[in-house]
Amino acid sequence: MKVKELRPESKVDVIDLTIRQKGAVRDFSSRGGSTGKVCDAKAVDDEGSEVSVSLWNEEIERVQANDRIRITNGWVREWRGNMQVSAGRYGKLEVLH
């Protein structure tokens, strides 16, 4: 998939992105009571289209600026007018070498 094909509230089959920069890490609490850390990163696809990537917990440590990542079985949502992708709970985020 490419960034231009993403639609809010849809699934991401497979998308490859390059992380440009990582934002500040924040603590979160879910409605179910679990807590953890989340970090928003800016990423681009190979066409140069930018999208925000939500990194959760251990993903934050694994992913660094300039890494190529692949998200499989993730999700897309729109937040404050920007598209965000994430592997979420059931998807997979891998760092490509």
Q: What residue ranges define each of the domains in the chain, with the CATH number in brackets?
A: 3-96 (2.40.50.140)
Residue 25: the pLDDT is 97
Residue 80: the pLDDT is 85
In 3-state terms the chain splits into helix, strand, coil percentages (rounded to 5) of: 10, 60, 30
CA atoms within 13 Å, Cβ hemisphere of 51 = 31
Please name which of 97, 87, 96, 21 lies closest in space to residue 59, comparing C-alpha atoms: 87
Residue 30: the pLDDT is 86
Cα–Cα distances in angstroms (integers) from residue 87 to residues 9, 12, 15, 77, in the given order: 13, 8, 10, 12
Band the pLDDT of 7: cuts 50, 70, 90. Answer: very high
The predicted-structure confidence for 26-85, as pLDDT tens digits, reads as follows 999 988 998 999 999 999 999 999 999 999 999 999 999 999 999 999 999 998 888 999
d(CA 66, CA 53): 13
Q: Is the pTM of this model over 0.95?
A: no
